[in-house]
Structure 1
């Protein structure tokens, strides 16, 4: 308890000291998070598990369960007025399309040295913060962010936190389907491991008409966080003109992660449907005409029945034989 109080006092003193000493706006901050008109938030140089004198795009911290990790945030205010910035921690997650989003919770592992920091005009303040890793934390990546809010604007600086222990890189590819109308291949990537993955996509197409081809592979501009699933699309620039086709997707990532999926589709453009309908109609009409002609050229069949009283040829007349008994001539009187 005493150690925790001492650490808090030291961190708070560091914040006040850094904020009180004016500093020029750094000329080369490595991709600072834009916090609104004028001010920015970014990792300070020289801190973290992998210290660097150059700018860092995000924080990287690694430690065992039960440890406390520390780093420093740089807040830059190039404006003419003082700026009051509120700080806090947040958990990171993927949106449905793979974006990096933040969820503010009351039990964040991140604790800034001060929740509110006043940054004078034309000044860069360095704000220490700590990350307390729970004793029961699972190994692997636990993406988070330190959130800064001021002047009606809010931004997050990514904290890539890895808890020491066994790691597993694994993914699956699911729900693959061909969207013929949009010319797209839709699919879902699921991170089954405990490390963040940057997927690389390869697509191969096979078709009856048009042959097979490969769509150029590319690294996707998304990080799939552990336990998350994201819905992605790939362009299908040259789909088959006619007939069935199959698409085969292979997604790979660091650490040996690999997943595959397939889908099939049948392409029948309107002109082919219209042509098939015309051919069918023409065939049916020709068959009907031929049948009528054959029926007209062929007489009655050999088993046609004669009408009552008809002669051998089917005709009646005085010469035809009668089935009735012969009449008896009357006697002359």
Structure 2
């Protein structure tokens, strides 16, 4: 199937590149764009299919232009990897994207790159694989770096569509809440199957506490996902202060015991002697 598609692309490329369309003269730089003036290339089909489109390369210059073509982020096959475009003409170059059988349904992105005369142009490629759409997100590997004052976590897109994640953070200590950040949208998107590890600043953690940290991640259409971790904070000054309080408390208790014990000893003999004297 792929051989037949490749053969068809080569034949189409020969015909289309040979039958170039006239372009207006001028000193403009060469351009590369999807055919029919679209802002990006859009392909849609089921997993296991081969989808085709066309890239238009326009050369407004006075001499021929040799352009090298490449795909990125998607399995793109061109009818010709190198195309020479005559002066003041346009060449339409067919290309195909193979959607493998294990490609999950949903939106996928790629790039078609054209390079010539020390300049590179990129054309965005949007691929929609048909099938049931599922939004699913997990938050994993949560940890606390007490020394750096940061939270570390990993977000994973477990669904079949592009996600814009949100995050909420809450930490509970022995005496109550020590960190509470409401849900906010993160400055990133995750493609299906994509994962990213991020950090969350925590510049003012408690000096002395045992804390449970909970991170809740969400996305439009996805159920919230929560992960937790435990952390113990014990800074040097806090430990020294706690030790001083314990010593003070222990010393005060011992003094009270000695004082009460000594009073009983002194009072005991005097009471006994007075009682003996009165009897005599």
TM-score of the aligned structures, taking structure 2 as reference length = 0.68
* Alignment RMSD: 4.4
Q: What is the count of residue pairs matched by the alignment?
A: 262
Q: Tell me what 2:278 maps to.
A: none
Does residue 159 of the first structure (1) align with residue 161 of the second (2)? no
Q: 2:244 aligns with which of 271, 278, 282?
A: 278
**Structure with higher helix content:** 2
How do 1:1-333 residues align onto structure 2 when only pairs under 5 Å count?
Answer: 5-15=7-17, 21=23, 43-44=33-34, 46=36, 52=38, 55-56=39-40, 59-65=41-47, 67-73=49-55, 84-91=66-73, 108=75, 110-118=76-84, 127-134=93-100, 136-141=101-106, 142-149=108-115, 157-209=123-175, 211=177, 214-236=180-202, 239-240=205-206, 242-283=208-249
Shift in Å at residue 275 of structure 1? 0.9
Deviations 1:132-156 (A, max 9, x none): 435x454414544334455678776
Q: Work out whether residues 24 and 124 of structure 1, in 8 Å CA contact, stay in contact via their aligned partners in 2.
A: no
Q: TM-score, normalised by structure 1?
A: 0.59
Query: By how many angstroms is 1:250 displaced?
Result: 1.8
Q: 1:267 to 1:150 in 2, by over 3 A?
A: farther
1:43-94 per-position Cα deviation (integer Å, ceiling 9, x unaligned): 53647xxxx5xx34xx4321124544233445578999975432233446xx
Alpha-carbon distance between aligned partners in 2 of 1:76 and 1:220, rounded to the nearest angstrom: 39
Q: Secondary structure at the match of 1:211?
A: strand
CA distance in 1 between partners of 2:14 and 2:199 (Å): 47
Structure 2 segments unaligned to the other structure (5+ residues): 267-280
Q: Residues 162 and 2 of structure 1: is their aligned pair in 2 closer, same or farther, counting only changes over 3 Å?
A: closer
* Unmatched runs of 5 consecutive residues or more in structure 1: 27-37, 93-107, 300-333
Query: Considering only CA atoms, is the larger Rg found in Structure 1 or Structure 2?
Result: 1
Q: Secondary structure of the residue that 2:140 maps to in structure 1? A: strand
Tell me the CA shift for residue 187 of structure 1. 0.8
